[in-house]
Structure 1
Amino acid sequence: MSRLKNFFKRGNNNQSDSGPSDISGPVSVSHNVHVALNHQTGAIEGLPEAWLKLVNKELTQGELNENPDAVLQAVQYFMFSQKQGHKNLPFKILATREIIEKESMEIENMGSPLLIRKKEIKMDGMMSDDEVDSALRKLCKCGNPFMRYVRLKEVGAGASGTVYIANDSESEGKNERVAIKEIDLSKQPKREMILNEIFVMRDIIHPNLVNFLDAYYDEDFLYVVMELLEGGPLTDVVTETVLKEGQIAAVCREVLLGITYLHSKGIIHRDIKSDNVLLGMDGTVKVTDFGFCANIQGDEKRQTMVGTPYWMAPEVVTKKKYGKKIDIWSLGIMAIEMIDGEPPYLKETQLRALFLIATNGRPQIPSWNKLSPEFQNFLERCLEVDADKRASSEELLKHPFLLRASDLRTLKGNIQAAQQILKKTM
């Protein structure tokens, strides 16, 4: 917020910076259902009938009896995730420690019997729509980007905006293509968040991240220009072709470089998986799905939860304090994807997957004995249930497994084969 205030100073403000925030009266009061574990009977009580049927359908009575705490944790996270899935923003909010602590409290209170008083908080320094518009005019290029970029096709549309692929007419014969996200600001209730996101994204530049290139502001429309990788998502490659161990090591190294950079900026990705790793036709590997990069492949329908349960670290589900090492667990699950073509529990429903993650810890890998000792140890370091003992991204970048990495250009054959099978080209 301080960066916004420095960029666009607000006038006629008589409140001191140290003064308390003004809090309005109650807007509405909502009754949450009371979900709790009966330790005498081992049963979960207070669930609405529909939720109770879901639990009884997806979990056995033995599982309910043996692990009632894990059942409650899975249900609470599932309820929270379903609620989050309905938020419509043109970007994925970058996860910082403060955001994670807030969400952890919200998950803990899912099913609380308390009356929750919703408040409208007026913070000192909050900007009006007119002030946000004025700041956007200073921060962005004014005008329509399609005066420079030749629109080729639409690849997706939804609450987060419409995404186009376009040619850069100023790329001096290189025929460079980009992704452009068009956002109708008149439909966005949280304009100041969008402005702040542009500030943050301008400073996030790394060879292993899908980078923000530019922003245009034109008649209440914001256009965000992003890098485009023509090889598509890693998912296509892992589901249609078989990767060699050296290729897996190369992908893991590149993703780790991107994760390490995000962590150095105080940002946790929270959704590392093959869908969110994009490939260039030359084997370039870049992490996407953070900030305005979310949904630039036109796959908005896939984004239904905060994080995706099949790749989720146990401490997220079990409500233990968690931090940046959840990305390392997800990297380990993504490595299993590259071995087996899919993550563990993919054939299970989301609720049951959450329960299995909470109870089983590190998943079994059917082809474990076929892996090199270096790869086995790498996976063990990623998939350590105790987050304090789990390796950091910096430690993994020094792991011997990465010395087995193949040249990234060897991925080109896999990319082309997957695109041919799936009949997909950008």
Structure 2
Amino acid sequence: MSFVNIFKRRKPKEETTAAIIGTPTNVNHDIHVSVTADGSLEGLPGSWLRQIGTQITKAEQNENPEVVKKVLQYYNFSVKKHGVPGQEIVKHIFTEHDIAEESKEMDLYMQSKDAHKSKDSDLSSEDSEKSNNFNSNHRSTVPLNVEKDCGNNLLQTKNLAQSIDNLTIEADEIEYRKPSITDNDIYRRRSNMSDDDYMRDIKKICNPGDPSDFYEKTLKDLGSGASGMVFAATNKRTGELVAIKDIDMKKQSKKDLLLSEIKIMKDFQHKNLVNFLDAFVVNVDHLWVVMELLDGGPLTDVVTETVMKEGQIAAVCYEVLQAINYLHNRGTIHRDIKSDNVLLGMDGTVKVTDFGFCANVIGNEQRETMVGTPYWMAPEVVTRQKYGKKVDIWSLGIMIVEMLDGEPPYLKAPPIRALYLITVNGRPNILRWDSCSPKLQDFIDQCLQVDVDNRAIAEDLLQHEFLEERMELKSLTPLIRAAKRILHKN
């Protein structure tokens, strides 16, 4: 389970450098796409054509064949890059240089034999169709009322003995919502260091003490995944709750990436980030990673179960933008801004998580693949045009759509269809647009510019007049309590 599932819901002249893709050499598997007279795509690998299924119509294929090719290229490359879900324990801290390198890898992949054998190529037609319609996002693609009924019944069964009569919430103040690639191991080359060498270097930058001298384990296990068990603990000195992930290093193949990420994350400290706190090597080959633990749960619970006021939306945006600006000023791109990755404290504290070594500290690693949750993705991620730090601003704009409409655009669509619609449509429709104030409309406009040159940067958005309307963070507390009550998470 992921960290968020613990708590169940302009500078116009800024230079943005497009990724420069080198010309591949010595390749024999080039993919050329054309459209036949009957509107069929010709030249794509058969396995890719099976992936399209009913997700992209013949008319759409005929109208936008290059977009279809780019979508399938991105989808299959991402699946290949991430491999088997559950094996990743680190999400690489991305820079624009890394993105340029990734673009080169995608270009090489497009002309390799691997591109002709998709993840689904060995499946039967029936299995392939099921795979293509799989959505790893924990928000189901069934209608919202069905999703809520099923989820609430399950949670109600699990919490049958728990009474909620003693919960005090500000019910009169709350309007409820009505039903309605990340690491870069492909192009990072391992050195000749042995696993023992890596463990020695990791141990050098970890706390040399005994973790039991600093933290006391609580009775609450937070979950487990392929990369380790996660449990809650209390800081003996401050009394604060933390999350500790116990990683069995014998099972990890990317110790080089771990070493790099720990070094970087030790220097990344900000009030609006879920901060890396400590690390220990235990029993020779176990790594304990200590992170902050927020008790309010993910913003997702609030946006799906309650309706936020504009002042509350402004408050969240202001805090998230401070985190984004901090990362951007350090040459880092988050690449996965969404409500799932914004965690709340019961006092209204807002913190961004799931970047760098924060990824999968608690985790359903299956959700970490970009192909599983493309709904917040900027169009240039697929087209690779001027792809840089402004992807985080686009994703912030989509997160505002979440706060207005309760979910991102195209959430009911499977990933390949969602990628297609994002790329073709650009800016999505917003259901509550007409009810937004002019200040909020302008703020969204500056986030959701398809032309990257016209999209705002974090530093400028922090000065936007919409954010002057922000409410105090403690105004989020009634919404958090209400969402917890609805989802039986207390």
TM-score, normalised by the number of residues in structure 1: 0.86
In structure 2, the CA distance between the partners of 1:32 and 1:366, relative to structure 1 (3 Å rule), is farther
The yes-or-no answer on 1:92 pairing with 2:91 is yes
Equivalences for residues 23-38 of structure 1 within 5 A: 34-38=30-34
Write the distance in 1 (CA, Å) between the matches of 2:429 and 2:250: 49
Write the distance in 1 (CA, Å) between the matches of 2:269 and 2:423: 35
* 1:310 alignment partner in structure 2: 375
The yes-or-no answer on 1:66 pairing with 2:63 is yes
1:87-128 deviation digits (Å, cap 9, x = unpaired): 623211111122211211222334315699xx99977x7533
Write the distance in 1 (CA, Å) between the matches of 2:275 and 2:328: 16
* 2:289 alignment partner in structure 1: 224
1:52, distance to aligned residue in structure 2 (A): 1.3
In structure 2, what residue type is equivalent to 1:128?
A: S
Write the distance in 2 (CA, Å) between the matches of 1:355 and 1:120: 26
Conservation of the 8 A alpha-carbon contact between 1:378 and 1:399: yes
Q: Secondary structure at the match of 2:334?
A: coil
In structure 2, the CA distance between the partners of 1:299 and 1:194, relative to structure 1 (3 Å rule), is same
Q: Secondary structure at the match of 2:290?
A: strand
1:158, distance to aligned residue in structure 2 (A): 1.8
Q: 1:259 aligns with which of 312, 316, 324?
A: 324
* 1:329 alignment partner in structure 2: 394
The yes-or-no answer on 1:233 pairing with 2:298 is yes
The yes-or-no answer on 1:379 pairing with 2:376 is no
Equivalences for residues 174-213 of structure 1 within 5 A: 175-213=239-277
Q: 1:356 aligns with which of 412, 416, 421?
A: 421
1:215-257 deviation digits (Å, cap 9, x = unpaired): 1112211111111111111101101111101000010110000
Write the distance in 1 (CA, Å) between the matches of 2:187 and 2:308: 52
In structure 2, the CA distance between the partners of 1:120 and 1:350, relative to structure 1 (3 Å rule), is closer
In structure 2, what residue type is equivalent to 1:328?
A: I
Q: 2:197 aligns with which of 128, 131, 134?
A: 131
* Deviates most, 148-157 or 347-356: 148-157
Write the distance in 2 (CA, Å) between the matches of 1:278 and 1:107: 33
Segments of structure 1 that go 5 or more residues without pairing to the other structure are: 1-29
In structure 2, the CA distance between the partners of 1:120 and 1:200, relative to structure 1 (3 Å rule), is closer
Write the distance in 2 (CA, Å) between the matches of 1:277 and 1:121: 29
Conservation of the 8 A alpha-carbon contact between 2:375 and 2:409: yes
* 2:124 alignment partner in structure 1: none
Q: Which has the higher contact order (CA 8 A, sep 6+)?
A: 2
- Equivalenced residue count is 390
Write the distance in 2 (CA, Å) between the matches of 1:276 and 1:206: 15
In structure 2, what residue type is equivalent to 1:99?
A: D
| C-alpha RMSD over aligned residues | 2.4
* 1:288 alignment partner in structure 2: 353
In structure 2, the CA distance between the partners of 1:276 and 1:101, relative to structure 1 (3 Å rule), is same
Write the distance in 2 (CA, Å) between the matches of 1:406 and 1:120: 45
1:322, distance to aligned residue in structure 2 (A): 0.7
* 1:168 alignment partner in structure 2: 235
* 1:15 alignment partner in structure 2: none
In structure 2, what residue type is equivalent to 1:155?
A: L
The yes-or-no answer on 1:145 pairing with 2:211 is yes
1:308, distance to aligned residue in structure 2 (A): 3.1
Q: 1:75 aligns with which of 68, 72, 76?
A: 72
1:34, distance to aligned residue in structure 2 (A): 4.9
Conservation of the 8 A alpha-carbon contact between 2:40 and 2:61: yes
Write the distance in 1 (CA, Å) between the matches of 2:469 and 2:189: 55
Write the distance in 2 (CA, Å) between the matches of 1:222 and 1:244: 43
In structure 1, what residue type is equivalent to 2:450?
A: V
Conservation of the 8 A alpha-carbon contact between 1:36 and 1:44: no
* 1:102 alignment partner in structure 2: 101
* 1:155 alignment partner in structure 2: 222
In structure 2, the CA distance between the partners of 1:168 and 1:365, relative to structure 1 (3 Å rule), is same
Conservation of the 8 A alpha-carbon contact between 1:310 and 1:345: yes
In structure 2, the CA distance between the partners of 1:33 and 1:122, relative to structure 1 (3 Å rule), is closer
* 1:19 alignment partner in structure 2: none
1:388, distance to aligned residue in structure 2 (A): 0.9
Q: Compare the two structures and name the one with the higher strand fraction.
A: 1
Q: Secondary structure at the match of 1:295?
A: coil
Conservation of the 8 A alpha-carbon contact between 2:34 and 2:41: yes
Conservation of the 8 A alpha-carbon contact between 1:73 and 1:319: no
Q: Secondary structure at the match of 1:58?
A: coil
Write the distance in 2 (CA, Å) between the matches of 1:55 and 1:39: 15
1:139-181 deviation digits (Å, cap 9, x = unpaired): 112355245322222222223332211112222xxx3100111
1:32, distance to aligned residue in structure 2 (A): 8.8
* 2:462 alignment partner in structure 1: 397
Conservation of the 8 A alpha-carbon contact between 1:229 and 1:280: yes
1:357-398 deviation digits (Å, cap 9, x = unpaired): 111010011211100000000001000000011000011011
In structure 2, the CA distance between the partners of 1:328 and 1:307, relative to structure 1 (3 Å rule), is farther
Write the distance in 2 (CA, Å) between the matches of 1:158 and 1:291: 18
In structure 2, the CA distance between the partners of 1:306 and 1:151, relative to structure 1 (3 Å rule), is farther
In structure 2, the CA distance between the partners of 1:372 and 1:212, relative to structure 1 (3 Å rule), is same
In structure 2, what residue type is equivalent to 1:37?
A: V
Conservation of the 8 A alpha-carbon contact between 1:273 and 1:311: yes
Q: Secondary structure at the match of 2:443?
A: helix
* Deviates most, 103-112 or 309-318: 103-112
Conservation of the 8 A alpha-carbon contact between 1:85 and 1:305: no
Identity %: 54
Conservation of the 8 A alpha-carbon contact between 2:40 and 2:58: no
